[in-house]
Amino acid sequence: MTPAARVAAAIEILDLVLSGEPAERCLTTWARNNRFAGSKDRAAIRDHVYDALRCRESFARLGGAKSGRGLMIGACRSQNVTLGEVFSGVGHAPAPLTATEEAALLAPVPEGLELLDWPDWLLPQLKADLGEAFVAVSLAQRERAPLFLRVNLAKTTREKAMAMLRRDDIDAEPHPAASTALKVVQGARKLRLAQAYLDGSVELQDLASQIAIEALPLDGVASALDFCAGGGGKALALAARAPKLRLSAHDIDAGRMKDLPLRAERAGAWINLLPPGAVTGQWDMVLVDAPCSGSGTWRRTPDAKWQLLPERLDALVALQSEILQAASRYVAPEGYLVYMTCSLLHCENIAQAEQFAVNPEWQWVEHRQLTTQDGSDGFFYSVFKRMNAE
């Protein structure tokens, strides 16, 4: 496909996403219906779509319309690409600009807060919550996210994992913020077929989760429950850090854990899966990786940024507090409760922790808000210790 034909495909897909369909599904369906497109074409189209969604508002302003075409005109303008070279109508290229589209280009270009591409209703909240880091984090959130791997130190070393990846033409470098972290600098698309991935030497995991798991206090911790386990990312990281830990995983939706047995087998870990609602007993550590806005990961799932509404955020905050209370019952005396989200918002993070810490039975041990300034996604963790009732 020519570069212009890829833009035409991105326009078609963006129109579907703007009508409310999930971006990932639209990309898959498009690829299935257009088998002539090679892997490089699909990757380039995907990048166009995700770049445009990350910068949806500013590109729409630059392109004169919130449509697939408007967004891609805006994207070309933001990169100083000559519009006539892409919008030529030649072959499979998008049609030339109409007179109305040309006229729309004369409108003032977006500036200031408009360039940060946050939903309007969330902007004041983020500005207050991020404080001095607001502009830098906002700008970084408009960029593509780096790909991180977690080296399974129960199986190999970081150096050996890097050498193994290199044999499959993947270059990765250690990140200083976590002893397990590798940042992929080249060859990311080959990862799922790489030997180091297939044999469980490395797993896909953002740097923030790795920093958080590495920071957890494991003194006197012999058992742990991942209460909101989902695909099991946190449980697997914990298993790799402390192979002797007795680990259980639970999720209200058992289907979310369907890949966990295979992932655990690949990693050489043993994790006991608990069916929804079947949690009894106590653990030395209970992790609550709570459902959240995902605002810290919107670089990776930019359509979610535009779908979040104030009512949904309120409901999530109420749910997080409920889950935290429910999970706290499974923490043994002197054990730890760990609350995590991939959010940048106070109401889901520090405010939840403050509210929980009011209970005198719990000692608030530590907390940390991570952002793109740490090299990672946005992420929050907080650790509480249950005081002995005696």
Ligand X SMILES: C[S@@+](CC[C@H](N)C(=O)[O-])C[C@H]1O[C@@H](n2cnc3c(N)ncnc32)[C@H](O)[C@@H]1O
Residues carrying an active site annotation = 342
How many CB atoms neighbour CB 121 within 10 A?
11
203 binds ligand X (CB under 6 A): no
Spell out, one character per residue from 322 to 361, where the chain touches ligand X: x when CB under 6 A holds, - when not.
-x--------------------------------------
Residue 226 annotated as binding site: no
The residue type at 156: T
Beta-strand relationship, 283-289 and 331-341: parallel
Give me the residues paired with residue 150 across strands.
181, 203
Nearest approach in angstroms of CB 264 to ligand X is: 13
254 binds ligand X (CB under 6 A): no
* Calpha distance 139→141 (Å, rounded): 5
* Calpha distance 346→351 (Å, rounded): 6
Two tokens, residue 154: 């129960």
Beta carbons of 91 and 2 less than 8 angstroms apart = yes
Nearest approach in angstroms of CB 290 to ligand X is: 6
Q: Which is nearer to ligand X, 55 or 273 (CB)?
A: 273
Two tokens, residue 314: 């309120």
* Calpha distance 248→271 (Å, rounded): 5
265 binds ligand X (CB under 6 A): no
233 binds ligand X (CB under 6 A): yes
Q: Which is nearer to ligand X, 139 or 252 (CB)?
A: 252
Q: Which is nearer to ligand X, 253 or 354 (CB)?
A: 253
Cβ-based burial of 189 (10 A; exposed 0-12, middle 13-18, buried ≥19): middle
Residue 251 annotated as binding site: yes
* Binding residues for ligand X, total number by CB under 6 A: 15
Binding segment for ligand X among 9-17, 153-161, 249-257, 302-310 (CB under 6 A)?
Answer: 249-257
Binding segment for ligand X among 37-45, 245-253, 368-376, 380-388 (CB under 6 A)?
Answer: 245-253
* Calpha distance 59→229 (Å, rounded): 37
Nearest approach in angstroms of CB 209 to ligand X is: 6
Q: What residues numbered 275-294 form the site for ligand X, per CB under 6 A?
A: 289, 291
228 binds ligand X (CB under 6 A): yes
Nearest approach in angstroms of CB 275 to ligand X is: 12
Q: Which is nearer to ligand X, 251 or 303 (CB)?
A: 251
Backbone angles phi, psi at 189, to 5 degrees: -70, -15
Q: Which is nearer to ligand X, 58 or 205 (CB)?
A: 205
Q: Which residue is nearest to ligand X (CB)?
A: 233
Minimal CA–CA distance to 247: which of 239, 255, 237? 239
Nearest approach in angstroms of CB 79 to ligand X is: 34
* Calpha distance 276→253 (Å, rounded): 7
251 binds ligand X (CB under 6 A): yes
206 binds ligand X (CB under 6 A): no
Q: Give kind and range of the element (H or E) at residue 167.
A: helix 158-167
Nearest approach in angstroms of CB 292 to ligand X is: 6
Q: Which is nearer to ligand X, 126 or 212 (CB)?
A: 212
* DSSP annotation string for 53-117: HHTHHHHHHHHTSSSHHHHHHHHHHHTT--HHHHS--STTSPPPPPHHHHHHTTSPPP-GGGGG-
Q: Is 218 helix (H, G, I), strand (E, B) or coil?
A: coil
252 binds ligand X (CB under 6 A): yes
22 binds ligand X (CB under 6 A): no
Would you list which residues are annotated within the binding site for S-adenosyl-L-methionine? Answer: 251, 289
Residues that bind ligand X (CB under 6 A): 227-234, 251-253, 256, 289, 291, 323
